[in-house]
């Protein structure tokens, strides 16, 4: 059985609208890197919301490692915790993710939620700040940072939970050349560590370096909602 599977899913934001997905299926093995492409509005972010349990298909199934991921399943707190520990989501727009008063607390938030001791939380938080080269931002307010800095804080917050699957929505957006290099290095390390990577990107650089498969959503959905 596949590690991550969408079976014949249908999804529309509003039942009166054309569905973003209509009978869509996807099957992924563990440790694979999937690059997701598609025009603006093709459904990349929608797919990622479904994979992260933020939106739910009206038809079809989402199965992760043998477990059906449904609204009901995730209503249970311990299920939700287990699920979110495995699956890290870097939002296309980091503003949506960042809500703490300080960068340090933003990164420490996930590990704290998992009930890890504060010593261990500090160790993880500092490791992730070092990795993303944002130590000097520790006491700053995330909402006052530049876009590229926000993106790095958001990735640090995702990595702090050491998830086995990473869903990254346009990770290069807002990054300068130096930070693109840094993200490339981190992606390489994640791939080497056997993580499953699902990346929405228009970057040939990311796709060429890491993608085992490419999914082009433009071929599934167009403006008419086909
Ligand atoms: N919250 C929402 N409510 C209603 N419709 C939405 C919502 N979010 C997205 N849509 C619609 O769903 C479709 C897919 O949008 P989505 O954001 O998934 O595309 P995308 O591939 O991520 O685009 P982009 O490249 O611009 O990020 C579009 O037609 C969009 O207008
Ligand atoms: Mg998007």
* Domains annotated on the chain, with CATH: 4-219 (3.40.50.300)
Residue pair 43/223 in contact (Cβ under 8 Å)? The answer is no
Q: What is the mean pLDDT of the chain?
A: 94
Spell out which residues have Cβ within 5 A of ligand 2, the ion: 44-45, 92
Q: What is the pLDDT of residue 225?
A: 45
Q: What percent of the chain has pLDDT over 90?
A: 88
Residue pair 122/108 in contact (Cβ under 8 Å)? The answer is yes
CA 211 to chain centre: 16
Residue pair 189/12 in contact (Cβ under 8 Å)? The answer is no
Token pair belonging to 114 = 């998992």
**47 Cα: distance to centroid of ligand 2 (angstroms):** 9
- Across residues 80-87, what is the average pLDDT? 93
Q: How confident is the model at residue 226 (pLDDT cuts 50, 70, 90)?
A: very low
Q: What is the pLDDT of residue 97?
A: 87
Nearest residue to 188 (alpha-carbon basis) of 210, 168, 158, 220: 210
**33 Cα: distance to centroid of ligand 1 (angstroms):** 23
Q: ∠35-26-110 over CA atoms, to 5°?
A: 65
Residue pair 214/183 in contact (Cβ under 8 Å)? The answer is no
Does the pLDDT value for residue 77 go beyond 60?
yes
Nearest residue to 206 (alpha-carbon basis) of 166, 163, 170: 170
Q: Which atom of ligand 1 is nearest to the CA of 13?
A: 4
- Across residues 193-221, what is the average pLDDT? 92
Q: How confident is the model at residue 223 (pLDDT cuts 50, 70, 90)?
A: very low
Q: How confident is the model at residue 14 (pLDDT cuts 50, 70, 90)?
A: confident
Q: What is the pLDDT of residue 180?
A: 96
Tens-place pLDDT, residues 86-117 = 999 999 999 988 999 999 999 999 999 888 89
Q: What is the pLDDT of residue 83?
A: 95
Q: Which atom of ligand 1 is nearest to the CA of 217?
A: 21
Residues with CB under 6 A from ligand 1: 13, 20, 38, 40-46, 92
**117 Cα: distance to centroid of ligand 1 (angstroms):** 39
Q: What is the pLDDT of residue 220?
A: 56
Q: Whose CA is nearest to atom 24 of ligand 1?
A: 40
CB neighbour class for 226 (10 Å; exposed up to 12, middle 13-18, buried from 19)? exposed
Sheet holding 67-68, edge to edge: 21-28, 4-11, 59-64, 67-68
- Across residues 164-174, what is the average pLDDT? 95
- Across residues 130-157, what is the average pLDDT? 96
Q: What is the pLDDT of residue 222?
A: 44
Q: If DSSP codes are grouped into helix, strand and coil, which group holds residue 159?
A: helix
Q: Whose CA is nearest to atom 31 of ligand 1?
A: 41
Q: Which atom of ligand 1 is nearest to the CA of 41?
A: 19
């Amino acid at each position: 059985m596949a590690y991550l599977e969408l079976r014949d899913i249908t999804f529309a934001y509003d039942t009166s609208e054309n569905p973003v997905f209509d009978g869509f299926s996807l099957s992924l093995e563990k440790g694979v890197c999937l690059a997701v492409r598609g025009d603006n509005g093709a459904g990349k972010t929608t797919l990622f919301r479904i994979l992260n349990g933020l939106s739910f298909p009206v038809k079809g199934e989402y199965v992760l490692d043998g477990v059906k991921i449904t609204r009901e399943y995730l209503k249970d707190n311990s299920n939700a915790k287990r699920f979110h520990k495995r699956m890290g989501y870097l939002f296309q727009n980091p503003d949506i993710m960042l809500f703490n008063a300080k960068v340090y607390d933003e990164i420490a938030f996930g590990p704290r939620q998992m009930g890890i001791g504060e010593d261990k939380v500090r160790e993880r938080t500092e490791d992730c700040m070092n990795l993303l080269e944002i130590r000097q931002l520790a006491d700053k307010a995330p909402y006052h940072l530049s876009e590229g800095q926000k993106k790095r804080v958001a990735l640090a917050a995702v990595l702090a939970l050491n998830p086995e699957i990473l869903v990254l929505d346009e990770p290069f957006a807002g990054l300068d050349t130096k930070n693109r290099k840094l993200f490339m290095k981190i992606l390489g390390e994640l791939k080497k560590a056997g993580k499953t990577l699902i990346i929405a990107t228009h970057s040939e650089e990311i796709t060429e370096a890491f993608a085992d498969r490419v999914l082009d959503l433009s071929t599934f959905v167009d403006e008419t909602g086909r």
